[in-house]
């Protein structure tokens, strides 16, 4: 067996097993961590297809950012397992139906004549120093510049919407503009008052006050 084939089967096995554990793990945090492992192995498989940019981006974006925030949220959730498992048998027929439909569709697509090995031969070997990233960038910023920018704009709008939906100023908020904090000058805060020095005369009253506890 070629070394590459071995790596492929290893990555695929770990990918499938961890994907299975995502839906079977009891603890949601474990499930998310298995999903991270699944993403990581998918990245490895893409790397085998010499799509290094996509592989690295998958790891960087999904593993490095999206799943971190996912984990962030799941860790803080208080999940009641008995309530989660309550409707299992009720929803099973619907879920199973969706699963069967998905499987049939997948097998139709993958088993079709357009997706066989003969229809999709291995891509031509790339010369040494071939940069997947450069080729992708050239296509993305020339032929597909408008769709690309449009997608970016949609994401930006989604981001601004999400921020403005969740942003609320509480009454107990102690937020101060940093520029206002930095520009504080002592004259506005402290008043220095010149006072004549006072000298207390040693008297009987002072002795009495000192004697008291």
Partner 1 sequence: MDAILQPVADFFGPTLWLVVWSLVKIFALLVPLLVCVAYMTYAERKIIGFMQVRLGPNRTGPLGLLQPIADALKLLFKEVVIPSGASKGLYVIGPILALAPSLAAWAVVPVGDGLVVANVNAGLLLLLAIASIEVYGVIIAGWATNSKYAFLGAMRAAAQMVSYEVALGFSLICVLMISGSLNFSDIVNSQNVGFFHDKGVSFLSWNWLPLLPLFVVYFISGVAETNRAPFDVVEGESEIVAGHMVEYSGMAFALFFLAEYANMILVSAVTALLFLGGWLSPVGFLPDGFYWMAIKTAFFLFMFLWIRATFPRFRYDQIMRLGWKVFVPITLVWVVVVAVWMISPWSIWQNVPVMAGH
Give min distance, CB of 149 to partner 1, in A: 14
| DSSP annotation string for 1-51 | --HHHHHHHHHHHHHHHHHHHHHH-SSHHHHHHHHHHHHHHHHHHHHHTT-
- Closer of 12 and 70 to partner 1 (Cβ): 70
Nearest-10 crossing angle of helices 145-166, 132-141: 90
- Closer of 77 and 210 to partner 1 (Cβ): 77
Give alpha helix (H) positions in the chain.
Answer: 3-24, 28-48, 52-57, 67-76, 81-86, 88-111, 132-141, 145-166, 178-182, 186-189, 204-211
Which residue among 4, 23, 26, 69 contacts partner 1 (CB under 8 A)? 69
Stretch that binds partner 1, among 82-90, 91-99, 131-139, 187-195 (CB under 8 A): 131-139
Give min distance, CB of 96 to partner 1, in A: 32
Interacting positions 37-66 with partner 1 (CB under 8 A): 40, 43, 52-53, 56-57, 59-60, 63-65
Cα separation of 86 and 93, whole Å? 15
Residue 25 binds partner 1, judged by CB under 8 A = no
Contacts with partner 1 by CB under 8 A lie at 3, 27, 29-30, 33, 36, 40, 43, 52-53, 56-57, 59-60, 63-65, 68-69, 71-72, 75-76, 129-134, 175, 178
């Amino acid at each position: 067996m070629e070394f590459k084939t071995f790596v492929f089967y290893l990555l695929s096995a770990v990918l499938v097993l961890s994907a299975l554990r995502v839906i079977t793990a009891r603890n949601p945090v474990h499930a998310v961590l298995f999903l991270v492992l699944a993403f990581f192995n998918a990245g490895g498989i893409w790397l085998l297809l010499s799509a290094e940019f996509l592989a690295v981006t998958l790891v960087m974006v999904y593993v490095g950012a999206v799943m971190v925030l996912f984990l962030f949220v799941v860790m803080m959730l208080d999940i009641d397992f008995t309530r989660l498992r309550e409707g299992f048998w009720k929803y099973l027929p619907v879920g199973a139906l969706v699963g069967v439909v998905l499987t049939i569709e997948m097998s139709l697509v993958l088993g079709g004549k357009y997706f066989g090995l003969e229809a999709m031969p291995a891509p031509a070997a790339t010369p040494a120093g071939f940069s997947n990233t450069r080729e992708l960038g050239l296509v993305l910023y020339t032929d597909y510049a408008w769709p690309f920018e449009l997608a970016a704009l949609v994401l930006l709008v989604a981001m601004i919407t999400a921020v403005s939906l969740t942003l609320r100023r509480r009454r107990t908020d102690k937020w101060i503009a940093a520029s206002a904090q930095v520009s504080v000058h002592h004259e506005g805060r402290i008043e220095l008052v010149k006072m004549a020095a006072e000298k207390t005369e040693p008297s009987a009253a002072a002795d009495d006050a000192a004697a008291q506890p």
